Amino acid sequence: MADRFKWTDPLICTYKNDVSKPWFIYFDFTDTLTGASKRLQFRGLINRTKDKKELTRQANALISYWKKQLKAGWNPWNEDLPVLQPKIEEAFDLIFQLKETNCSSRTLQSYRYCIKLLKDWLISNRLNSVFIHQFELHHARAFFDYLALKKGYSGRTYNDKITVLSTFANAMIEREWISKNPFRKIKKVQLQVGRNIAFSEDEKELLKTHLQQNDRQLYYFTQFVYYCFIRRSELTRLKIENIDWANRSVVVPSSASKNKKQESVWKIHSN
């Protein structure tokens, strides 16, 4: 039975090194008992780049993957074609590329830094070449222990990293790269409540007077935040055309809004 199935060595179709076309690997698979034969093609994630050298490297990695699958007994007649599992760094890079299309630059900066932390840890622990489905809960715990003990992360900073990586892992579940979120059981730390104490009326008046006399731009900035309830990040994206002085309102366009929805703030304070 072991000699029943035969296959040719996988090869790369490069369209004569034309990187504008989607490269793939292919091989023929034959059932010698029934005489049935198939030519199979796989692209995986190799066409994310248009660099010839990188394309070739990715294609050779895909060939190596399928050679292992074939030697392990896979055949196209007794099971569904498997979902190709990317390596862990490739998986996070791909999800990041997908999020680049609909996330703000500030959010992407946060994602990028968090992923770099994980990649550096993976490299230092020689885990950067594992497939994404091989990264499990105990690896996730070890990474967050590292953040707490070695990097000194705590509170909101620690919790934010859990949120980011869980978000990425959920996207991987949707693509059937993994079956469980390895970060789901990492508990967030309890945040200290009440650290931000509101100014008293006297303190607010003192600050207002100081800013009016010493920094008029910052004064106007704080008034927009205080009276219009506009986020600091949204305020920095507003343009003069977003202010309707006649109707005493501010329009926060979707391009500036955190939730990507256009909103209006009415009755600008006149002081």
What is the per-residue pLDDT across 192-231, written as a single tens digit (0 to 9) for each?
666 667 778 888 888 888 988 999 989 888 888 888 778 8
* pLDDT given at position 111: 94
* Percent helix, strand and coil across the chain, each to the nearest 5: 45, 10, 40
Which regions in the chain score pLDDT beneath 70? 1-2, 79-84, 192-196, 256, 258-260, 266-271
Q: How far is CA 116 from CA 58, 79, 123, 181, 185, in A?
A: 21, 37, 10, 19, 22
CA angle 264, 266, 269 (to 5 degrees): 135
Q: Is 219 exposed, middle or buried (0-12, 13-18, 19+ CB in 10 A)?
A: middle
Cβ(40)–Cβ(29) below 8 Å: yes
Burial 167-178 (b: 16+ CB within 10 A, else e): ebbebbeeeebb
DSSP designation for 42: E
